[in-house]
Amino acid sequence: SAVISQKPSRDICQRGTSLTIQCQVDSQVTMMFWYRQQPGQSLTLIATANQGSEATYESGFVIDKFPISRPNLTFSTLTVSNMSPEDSSIYLCSLEVTGGSGDTQYFGPGTRLTVL
Amino acid sequence: AQKVTQAQTEISVVEKEDVTLDCVYETRDTTYYLFWYKQPPSGELVFLIRRNSFDEQNEISGRYSWNFQKSTSSFNFTITASQVVDSAVYFCALSEAGDDKIIFGKGTRLHILP
C-alpha cells in the first residue's frame, strides 16, 4: 500500500480563520477522499477528489466551506474555511488502491483540529 | 440504503481473554464489500481486512479472525488472546459495487485491561 502523509498533524485555530490541510502520497493515485471524524463519532465522507476535475461533495458539505484542490496525482489539499468550534474534528484523507479482488481505501494519519 | 450497525459501543476485557466485535450490515446490492479498520489512540485508521460479498470463507490472521455470515448479514471480528496493544476503536464498514463511498459503523471502543 502507498505511504500517505498529512500536514499539519494537529492544530489549534481561532474562530473565523481558515486552515489548509495537505495530503501527500508516495505514488500516483486517481481517487482521493476527504473524511471528517467529529469527537467520539464515526467517519463521514466530505468529498471525493479526482485529479483534473472538480471535487464531488457529499450531502451536507459545500465547496465554499471545504474547498479542495487536486493539482496532481500525488497531492491534495482540504481547506476548512471560516472555522467555528463545531469544525473541531479529525480530518483524514484516503486513497483508493485497486487490487486483484477489488478496491480498498487506505487512510492518512489524520489532522486533529481544535477550533477555539 | 446502506447501513452498518455496531451495537457494542464499548467493551472492556482482561488481557488474554478472547473478544468478539459484532457488525451487522444492510445493503440492497448483491455485490458489496466489507471492511474492518482499527483506530488506535494516535488517531490513524489502520486497514485490517476487506471481504467481498461472494466470498463467505472465514479468515484468520494471527490472533484476528473474521466470521462472514450472509444469512444474518453479519461480519464479526474476533481477537483471540487479547493484548493491551489491541486497545483501540474498531470500525466496520461497507461499500457497494460501483460506488467508491464507504459507509462506516459508529465503531466499538475496545479496552484491554492488563
List, for residues B12-65, the tens digit of each pLDDT value: 999 999 999 999 999 999 999 999 999 999 888 999 999 999 888 888 899 999
Q: Which chain A residues contact residue B102 at CB under 8 A?
A: 43, 45, 105
> From the list A1, A96, A101, which residue is nearest B100 (CB)?
A96
B5 Cβ under 8 Å from any chain A Cβ: no
Q: Rounded to whole angstroms, how far apart are CA atoms A46 and A63?
A: 10
Q: Which chain B residues contact residue A92 at CB under 8 A?
A: 45
| Chain B from 63 to 92: CB within 8 A of any A CB | 91
List, for residues A77-108, the tens digit of each pLDDT value: 999 999 999 999 999 999 988 876 678 899 99
Residue B98 has a pLDDT of 79
Closest CA to B21 of B62, B68, B77, B83: B77
* CB distance A45 to A35 below 8 Å: yes
- Give every CB contact of residue A114 below 8 A, 6+ residues apart in sequence: A10, A11, A12, A13, A88
Q: Rounded to whole angstroms, how far apart are CA atoms B92 and B72?
A: 15
Taking all residues of chain B, what is their mean pLDDT, rounded to a whole number? 94
* Distance between B6 CA and the closest CA of chain A, angstroms: 11
- Give every CB contact of residue B73 below 8 A, 6+ residues apart in sequence: B24, B25, B26
> From the list B43, B47, B104, which residue is nearest A110 (CB)?
B43
Alpha carbon of residue A72 to chain centroid: 15
